[in-house]
Amino acid sequence: MKVEVEKLTVWIDAKAKEQLDLWVEMAKGEISGLGMVEEILNGNLQGFLITEIFLPYQSSSEAQTSIEAEDVAKLMMEVEKQGHDPARLKFWFHSHGTMQVFWSGTDQATIQRFRPKDYFISTVINKAGQMRSRVDFYQPLRLGLDEVPTEVLLTEFGQREVCKQLFDERVKEGVSFSDGQMFPYAPSDPSREEIINAFCKGELSWPEAEDFLSEEGLSDQGLEEWPYD
């Protein structure tokens, strides 16, 4: 499998990213977990998609998090019961709390312990939302790529029909306004100040401003003295 290094990107499903952000926010210090990975192929390997993430039982402090081997085994059993292949658990995430995102000596050692057959993906994140990802390849040769671009994969939530119905019910298009201009404020009930501000910004001509004030039963007194360039 050929890897297109220059295009390599780690994508995180939007739902998984929301879970990740919430767990990082909730943790007083560090937190870590695992995730399912799918390969993004277009002839060659161009990236990875993190489809789901899981939070195993763990102990954490302000500067460290620890997951016992038996808890990883339990998680793998849970994943299998859900109909997933545990071999796809090739993503490890952990947080650095309020610190910067970097690879500590402990992080490096943790990554080395996973040792899958082909590759493994790691991401460190902090409470500010900063992320740093790396991909470690083990076949056909040992190769580590750091600072791999990380993006959120936005998905559709099947809202097109509902949005279309509301749009058709509530949006009246093709309406002609004065000189073809859209009034920048709520045209049903503009205030005197809003009309004058629109005039001062050049969004309404003098006659248009006077017409709007007249239609709304508002005074145009002081319009000539209103400061504008």
Give the type of residue at 17: K
Task: Note the pLDDT tens digit of each residue in 104-149.
Answer: 888 888 888 887 889 999 999 999 999 999 999 988 888 899 999 9
At residue 1 the predicted structure's pLDDT band, cuts being 50, 70 and 90, is low
Confidence (pLDDT) at 62? 81
Cβ neighbours of residue 92 closer than 8 Å, sequence gap 6 or more: 32, 33, 34, 35, 110, 111, 114, 120, 121, 122, 123
E-strand stretches of the chain: 9-13, 32-42, 44-54, 59-60, 65-66, 89-95, 119-125, 131-137, 143-148, 150-153
- Asked whether 208 and 178 are in contact (CB, 8 A), the reply is yes
Q: Produce one character per residue of 190-215: b if its CB has 16 or more CB atoms within 10 Å, e if not.
A: bebeebbbbbeeebbeeebbeebbee
- For 160, counting Cβ atoms within 10 Å of its Cβ (0-12 exposed, 13-18 middle, 19+ buried), the class is exposed
Confidence (pLDDT) at 228? 47
Q: Mean pLDDT for the chain?
A: 82
Q: In this model, does residue 51 exceed pLDDT 90?
A: yes
Question: 209 or 68, which is more confident?
Answer: 68
Q: What percent of the chain has pLDDT over 70?
A: 83
132: its two tokens: 């740093």
Lowest mean pLDDT among 81-95, 109-123, 145-159, 172-186: 172-186
Q: How many other CB atoms are found less than 10 A from the CB of residue 69?
A: 8
**Mean per-residue pLDDT for 185-214?**
69
Q: Is 64 helix (H, G, I), strand (E, B) or coil?
A: coil
Q: In this model, does residue 23 exceed pLDDT 50?
A: yes
At residue 182 the predicted structure's pLDDT band, cuts being 50, 70 and 90, is very low
CA distances from 223 to 8, 185, 190, 213 (A): 60, 18, 16, 10
Ordered structural domains, the chain, with CATH: 5-153 (3.40.140.10), 165-215 (no CATH)
Region of 80 please: left (phi>0), alpha (psi -120 to 50) or beta: alpha
Confidence (pLDDT) at 109? 87
